[in-house]
Structure 1
């Protein structure tokens, strides 16, 4: 067998034997050594005395005295950083002393020069590359952090230890700079200096250190803004004054090739006007179900005399087809032709695509019609959509809605209708007349 470093191989074998004392505490070897050297069971707390076994001392010499929780703080800092994944990857390599530089390669017996290829004077280790190189120090100075870096370099010569100290101290101080938190600044600046060094080694022109500091600040600010962005939930919006809004949706079961559809109409104040649902025993695909739901909604609106209409659906294909004159060469051609004929009966009709969150009421109505005959509701909507009807108009009264429904659900079925009417009146869904 060929070994690159027989000494490291022997150390690994000794460390493995020590690990077996932890992993197999009831083995014969562990029992004998525990009785002689650590009767309290604390292997890490063993103090070798005169006359102790040399082989046992060799095993102890390869134990990590700081235990498995060493550097736990700095790793928590790294994983919680608001920084790109590529930055965290370089930080991880740096803390493990595995960031590729000439001294690291030389330590692994690769024949390369240990001098820095940029300045050509000092040895190119991790500390020199990120913190002690003249150009790197100018970047830190432009960021206003040179004093912190110099103080960390005085404590330890290893680049991994310097970075560890900077990140942990930044977390403990919890300082905030103009462009972001201090810990993010140290992390992204270290990555950017390493990236620029690679550009220089590959023969590409280097930036001015002042410009590099500006790029670091911009990168921190942009990523922090992206991390703090929260997408707003787009809920149902009342139609313009004088119009009513029709929400339609459909569901499709690919296993049974069946579906269901639902439609809900509300006025410009969010008051419930009517709703309808119907099952589709035979349906070839979801697109056909959505088109049939559109036709059901238009028929419902005409039957209630709603001639100024805004149609909402979360299926973009259906909305675009209706906007383009209901022209289709698919299986839905006949259904779209019916929709086009119905749309001519309206004084004003608009088709708008909406997000799924804004179409939840129609979605629920379609879902409850899978195993039921066609139904129409007027003035008294199905109980399943009461909470959403209330929250779409007045989110505060949703709590009152839930309390009313839960209270009356315990009573007889005859009192349920009274409960909903009381609820609609208090929430403003029906007028006192």
Structure 2
């Protein structure tokens, strides 16, 4: 099944029972438990000394559940600024306070008149990294209650798989010693922070195994195989764990000493450890004919080799870099754009797209309305919007696209977007717990005012006109609204030939 620690797996299963009590409070079991163990307050704050074995098991699962739950902000009245999990980074809480403050609820940080964050107030009490993350959290334009969700799933719904991974990560953190973090949010940078090391998938996997003490060193082999000794087979001086294999063993020391004449060793430890592990395996399992001098050549060559730059034409949609091979530029320019499919007669079609740059956290959106003949009815765009990710920016694009051109949507409309998760959440009948839940509530409210509508997910290449308009808003003019036309520099997708269905 893929589970290596049944104790942690049982912990995750108990957390699932606590999640059900938390999200289905009207069930018979939840009402009985609440009446007996936490008649005042909620499950998260429940604490009982003398309880049944059943409730003690739920409390054990609740410990894990508290580390992974997060509040999705609606009106902010149910969330405590300093105690609850509501920041979607790091340990999910605010790090520290810059000054003493009497503010308690997240609702105190929201400007009610404009339905936006009070930036001045937030920056006065929060450190800059936390303030930036708070300002990226989307807020609804209506008064809706806060929603609790599971942080480690995109859908916001609890899963035993992600809970097990969280329990395993916590277990590994408890076993690690002497590790600190300089990050304000308590997080740690990824293992492959060296530019030379990021392209090596094999090296990244090695460092992950080294950090989690899951390398096939003699100490780990001795736990599983009865005939194995934990002593190092190369030097025989002490039991071989991960630290000994890459730092204390004689061959690892020789490599580290030899490399001191060529670079600053402390700055390139990841590469050095990976090569030391290669030497260890070569001696034990091969002929051991790999000299230290050969490793010096390999390591110095890896550092001096230029890092492949990302070509501009490989940036897809202005959101993330794509690893899909692209055809030559002359072929790409000559490839025709897909035809725009006509809606039914009497219907309109609204194409919406977003442009997002993850490095800066800035995005833009564009929306175009066309009738069944392909003629533009209106267009709107805006830029300079902060968002945590591309999915949130896509949700903002749909909301603002409908809102800005609501006066033009006097007929049934087909709304097309290329974000599959957004369309799935909008068409789902159960309440959403995703990070875009406030935006989904606003979109659902706007859709109620339309005569009729359909939501469709289309391929990215079939939505290029809206994408070009979003890029226009991000690079050029920040915002605009036109009736009956689009910007002159925008090239609309060709309209598919008229058939018998659309003409009659």
TM-score, with structure 1 as normaliser: 0.35
- Greater helix fraction, Structure 1 or Structure 2: 1
Q: Give the number of the structure whose alpha-carbon radius of gyration is greater.
A: 1
TM-score, with structure 2 as normaliser: 0.31
Greater RCO (CA < 8 Å, at least 6 residues apart) = 2
